Amino acid sequence: GADDNASGSSVIMMLARMLSEYYDATEDDSLRSIIFIFFDGEEAGLHGSAHFVKNPIMDLGNINAMMNLDMVGNLSNNNLSISGSGTAVEFETLIPEVVEASPVTASLTPGGTGPSDHTNFYKHDIPVIFLFTGITDEYHTPKDQAFTTNPAGGAIIAELAQAFAERLVNDDALTFASNTQ
């Protein structure tokens, strides 16, 4: 559907373009790398992300954080849900700083698990940030069409994701925090 999850896929592609420009504009060769991954099989049991963490293309210990963009196409009243706020010690200050500099308000959930791909990373002691604009009446129906989404809101989410990503590649490495909430 358009929101679940063409919206997340679209924001990932926008973010890749924006961050390639960011990397081109800086001469700092100490920036962390960013990998953009699309997973399949989420609704069937998070199979794509489970396969990745079981068969990683790099040492999982080198992953600073996983940012999940799932269903980000229906920003309403500039309110956003961010899960994983308690999965890194540094998120206590980092997340509020990034959100405060944006036009959104955020509802923070400290836990690192949920019905989306970030869960598999959290289970491997990797901090996670899960951006989510909420369930709509169109969720998992044929009515989940492009005209039911909020493209301007998606652009705001892309800019917020960029701000998070820039901090994650520039700041010191994160300290994983196990959070059972």
> What is the pLDDT, as a whole number, of residue 180?
57
Diameter over CA atoms, the chain = 47
pLDDT digits (tens, 9 = 90+) for 75-105: 999 999 999 999 999 999 999 999 999 999 9
Q: What is the pLDDT along the chain (181 residues), one digit of tens a residue?
A: 999 989 999 999 999 999 998 888 887 777 788 889 999 877 788 999 999 999 999 999 999 999 999 999 999 999 999 999 999 999 999 999 999 999 999 999 999 999 999 999 999 999 999 999 999 999 889 999 999 999 999 999 999 999 999 999 999 999 999 875 5
Give me the residue label for tokens 């990503």. Answer: 165
Determine the Cα–Cα distance for residues 116 and 15; give it in Å rounded to an integer: 19
Write down the pLDDT at residue 181.
55
Establish whether the linkage from the previous residue to 78 is cis, with ω within 30° of 0.
no
The label of the residue with tokens 């999940």 reads: 68
At 42 the pLDDT is 76
Helix (H) or strand (E) segment spanning residue 169: helix 151-170
Please state, in angstroms and rounded to a whole number, the distance separating the CA atoms of residues 131 and 103: 15
